Amino acid sequence: MSENLGKNQICLIIGASHAGVNCAFALRKEGWEGKIILLDSDPELPYHRPPLSKTYLYNAEAIGLNLLKSAESYAKENIQLLLKIRALRIDRKTQIVQLDNGTWQAYDKLVLATGARAMIPSIPGLSEAKHVYPLRTAADINEIRNKISQNFSQEVVIIGGGYIGLEIAASLRKLEAKVTVLERESRVLARVTAPELSLFFENLHAENGVSIHCNKKVTAIKGGSEKTQIICADGSSFSADMLVLGVGIQVNSELASASGLEIENGIRVDLTTLTSDEHIYAIGDCTNHFNPHYQRYLRLECVQNAVDQAKIAAAAICSKDVFYDTIPWFWSDQYEVKFQMVGLSTGYEEAILRKESEKVFSIWYFKGNELLAVDAVNSAKAYVWGTKFIKSGEQIDKAKLKNSEVELKSIGK
């Protein structure tokens, strides 16, 4: 038995969301016999985050949180789950972590799964304004639900036309709120998709009654006792009962940074998720890691990366010979549209549209003949075949791809 598998060893995991929870359970699966201590400042039993901006927000029957694991599962796997506890400081020399309940916790292996928090932009007047809602945790959504349920026809302004902003818009429309989205760029989803898709989503939201305004840089917020005024650089202004912030995230890397770990746009980790300290691993949204397929460093904000890195970290901690090599995938559900993405389109030279119908299509991103990524709208088939082609590297006949009469399984060269 290797030394890592001793019963007296302690693996401490900071952060109990998708990455941390999956890592804890994967450790048991890999044969870790020591203690597993999993902690988070969030008071709720760890839950799935993606539904927060979707079903959890609009489902009036209060479906409750979609738990990652049942309460009994933690006990069954002998995982000590500590909620409402924050780690304050890591002492790497003595391998202990200071907690905000006044105690210190020793570790043999430490896993940082600290994730990210909602970015609060520095807009004059924002910090003084009332009814401003960021979105990251169940508590954030509960506050939005409480506020909107006072009067479902309230005016809501959402700053940011990314996935979170648009999902919130769709969910609040289902509740019949009056929704306006302000996007700084010239189109929504500008950072992540091709112009065709931005247009599709802008139209989709317009059809559903959302007012989307692009090229709107918010420069000031003026809070009144009830209505809030949102003022933009071009002189336009919008009035809101509620202001929702969907402008991205900020990585929780302060704990790592203060302890002297290597940081570069997130906590830098190697292919086994090890940080610059041989006893400390980092997983999930907070990491900056190398992707062998795309041959570059990435920081990803998604469930796939959190879960896959969690499994790699657990295996590596148990001295298994593994390394992280995956193709990222994501999804977003808005209204009745199922949107799925695989791969990373950054650096694409050609975007090919494959259209089955107005509401069923996919965009295939190429660099030369290499397929980089696929965005699929209501087309799981395109998502699945895109995944297969990206993984295999098989060349695609682009003429066949464009022709929706040709089945996707037959588009290889």
We find the least distance from the C-beta atom of residue 381 to other proteins, in angstroms, to be 4
Kindly state whether residue 384 participates in binding other proteins, applying the rule CB under 8 A: yes
Task: Candidates 73-81, 180-188, 238-246, 318-326: pick the segment binding other proteins (CB under 8 A).
Answer: 73-81
Asked if 293 interacts with other proteins (CB under 8 A), we say no
When binding is defined by CB under 8 A, the residue of 70, 101, 149, 395 that contacts other proteins is 70
Member of 338, 355, 400, 402 binding other proteins (CB under 8 A): 338
Sheet holding 104-106, edge to edge: 87-91, 96-99, 104-106
- Our separate counts of H helices and E strands in the chain read 10, 26
Least distance to other proteins, CB of residue 236, Å: 37
Cβ proximity of 232 and 219 under 8 Å: yes
Which range, of 122-130, 164-172, 217-225, 331-339, touches other proteins by CB under 8 A? 331-339
| Sheet containing 35-40: order of strands | 79-83, 35-40, 10-14, 109-112, 280-282
User: Residue 355, interface with other proteins (CB under 8 A)?
Assistant: no
State how far the Cα of 388 lies from the Cα of 393, in Å rounded to an integer.
Answer: 8
Q: How far apart are CA 217 and CA 352, in angstroms?
A: 31
Give the residues across from 220 on adjacent strands. Answer: 231
- In whole angstroms, what is the distance from residue 397 CA to residue 404 CA? 13
Q: Give me the residues paired with residue 357 across strands.
A: 360
CB-wise, 215 or 304, nearer to other proteins? 304
Task: CB nearer to other proteins: give 77 or 185.
Answer: 77
Map residue 146 onto helix, strand or coil: helix
Nearer to other proteins, 303 or 363 (CB): 303
Binding mask 170-189 for other proteins (x = CB under 8 A): --------------------
**Minimum CB–partner distance for residue 267 and other proteins (Å):** 22
Taking the complex as a whole, how short is the minimal distance between the CB of residue 96 and other proteins, in angstroms?
31
- Site residues for other proteins, 81-140, by CB under 8 A, read none
